[in-house]
Structure 1
Amino acid sequence: MDNLKEINCKEIFRKAYENRYTWQNDFNGYQGKCIFFTKNNIHQGNFLLGKDFKPNIQKIEDEKIVKSIASQLFEVCIHRVKREFEAVHSENNFNLLKNSESGIEMIVSGKNKGDKYRVKNNCINMVYRKIHGTIIEIFVEEFLETGVGSLSKKYSSQQINPDTLQTNSEKLEYEDEFVNVGKEDYWILKSRTIKYLNQNQEEEMQKFVFEDLCLLN
């Protein structure tokens, strides 16, 4: 037990947090082609994502598809914003739950009480966070090591009801591919495949592909 007491969870989490891949603060956005595949359909268009992270999708009529593509682009970008550890977590403490082959699992006390994380090899491989009244649970299977930080590339995500602690969404399985664009180590999403089981327990798949990517000046 003495060894467990010596584990400084906040320091371990801080190092993993700072090891996440983020973009430079002078990021001005990027543009390219977007293609959306489902079992029955293909939609193709163009997109522009400004420095405000608001995606503008063109040449696709279906509003639902537009919204779906835009939400993937926004979600990826929001995770690339560099925010200092102290600014985000200064009011949180990190307390050891368990140390296993899967990593060091910790629970937060303080401002974000009840959130949980797991860290292994300087990467956060499990997140259990309350966001907008819902608990999101994410498990990461694979990371891409960019040389300037790690990016999760294969992971699952599920929503949990905070009152009953029962799952209240399908489990989404993600597989992401990234490409390095420009001279400044800008790793950008090239494709994202999302798989899940529908109400009949049949596997459904959506794929988002982004091509001809170039940074905006």
Structure 2
Amino acid sequence: MTEQLEARELFRAAYENRYTWDKNFPGYTADVTVRQGNETHTAKVRVTENLSAEVSEIDDEQVKQSILEQVREIAIHRIRRSFEETHGKNTFTYGETDETGAVEILMGGKAEGDRYKVRNNEVCLVHRHIHGIVVTINTFGTHHTSEGYLSHRYHSVYHDVKTGELKGESEFEDNYEQVDNYYILTQRVIQAIEGDKQITTEFTFSNVTLLQPAVV
């Protein structure tokens, strides 16, 4: 498949428009409250300057792992990597344009089989193969900052790459606050969809404090 340079540049612009933390990000600490049904749990989180995550002051191991999973996922998406570092081994061609004006980008090379949609200089659909699972994420709303956009409302579906079996489906709503020079997630509401049931879990991060930069 011949690469279309216009498709590469369209995707590059949207990729570089994402909000990420710069190399001076010092890390942070926060209190976290988790609510699911009638249960409420509290803990403390710490994200270091190299974006490793820790959860403390909680005994429930299952809830602790759930918090850790969210904090790690948040940090992974804030890592700043150049376009060439992430997509240098991929090729890009146009797919279809949908009724909303979103342009489909089909991937070749290392990411063969993945696809994205770009609208208004933002990635509004991600369809990726990750460790035997096909992840499809549609984004319906974003936060805008002077340094790029952050996803606000989005829907994720997970299928087995071989069988096509549905492995999970969730709706997310994320809210951020600016702490000094950085935007930090302060609330994430997840509605896990299981058949006709919806299980809502709310993570609230408060008392967010940036760590002091390491002295060189």
TM over 0.5: yes
Opposite residue 111 of structure 1, the aligned amino acid is K
Q: Mind listing any 5+ residue stretches in structure 1 that lack a counterpart?
A: none
Identity %: 33
Task: Give the whole-Å Cα distance in 2 for the aligned partners of 1:95 and 1:6.
Answer: 5
Which residue does 2:141 correspond to in 1? Answer: 142
One-letter code of the match for 2:10? Answer: I
Deviation for aligned residue 1:152 = 0.5
Q: 4+ residue runs of structure 1 moved beyond 4 angstroms?
A: none
Q: Cα distance, 1:148 vs. partner?
A: 0.7
8 Å CA contact 2:32–2:205 kept in 1: the answer is yes
Q: Does the 8 Å CA contact 2:4/2:93 hold for their aligned counterparts?
A: no
Mark the CA change 1:127 to 1:55 in structure 2 (over 3 Å): closer, same or farther: same
Is the 2:132–2:162 contact (alpha carbons within 8 Å) kept by the matching residues of 1? no
Tell me how far apart the structure 2 counterparts of residues 193 and 32 of structure 1 sit (CA, whole Å): 17
Compared CA separation, residues 106 and 6, structure 1 to 2 (3 A)? closer
Query: What is the alpha-carbon distance in structure 2 between the residues aligned to residue 207 and residue 154 of structure 1?
Result: 14
Residues 114-159 of structure 1: CA deviation (Å, up to 9, x unaligned): 1000000000000001112211110000010111100011001111
1:87 to 1:7, Cα distance in 2 relative to 1, 3 A = closer
Q: Quick check: 2:114–2:127 contact (8 Å CA) kept in 1?
A: yes
**1:126 matched to 2:122:** no
In 2, distance between residues paired with 1:49 and 1:92? 31
Shift of 1:202: 1.6
Q: Which amino acid aligns with 2:29?
A: Q
Question: Does the CA-based 8 Å contact 1:37-1:206 persist in structure 2?
Answer: yes
* Other-structure match for 2:10: 12
Q: 2-side partners of 1:6 and 1:90: how far apart?
A: 14
SS in 1 for 2:168: coil
Give the number of aligned pairs. Answer: 209
SS in 1 for 2:14: helix
Instruction: Determine if contact 1:156/1:172 at 8 Å carries over to the other structure.
Output: yes
Q: Which amino acid aligns with 2:128?
A: R
- Secondary structure of residue in 2 paired with 1:83: coil
Cα RMSD of the aligned pairs, angstroms, is 1.6
Unaligned runs of 5+ in 2: none
Provide the residue aligned with 1:46 in structure 2.
44
Other-structure match for 1:174: 172
CA positional deviation for 1:7 = 8.2
Query: 2:169–2:194: 8 Å Cα contact kept in structure 1?
Result: no
Change (3 A) 1:167 1:154: farther
Find the counterpart in structure 2 of residue 34 from structure 1: 32
Change in 2 beyond 3 A, CA 1:6/1:113? closer
CA distance in 2, matches of 1:180, 1:198: 34
Name 1:198's counterpart in structure 2.
Answer: 194
Residue in 2 aligned with 1:113? 112
Aligned-partner Cα distance in 1 for 2:170–2:37 = 16
TM-score (norm 1): 0.92
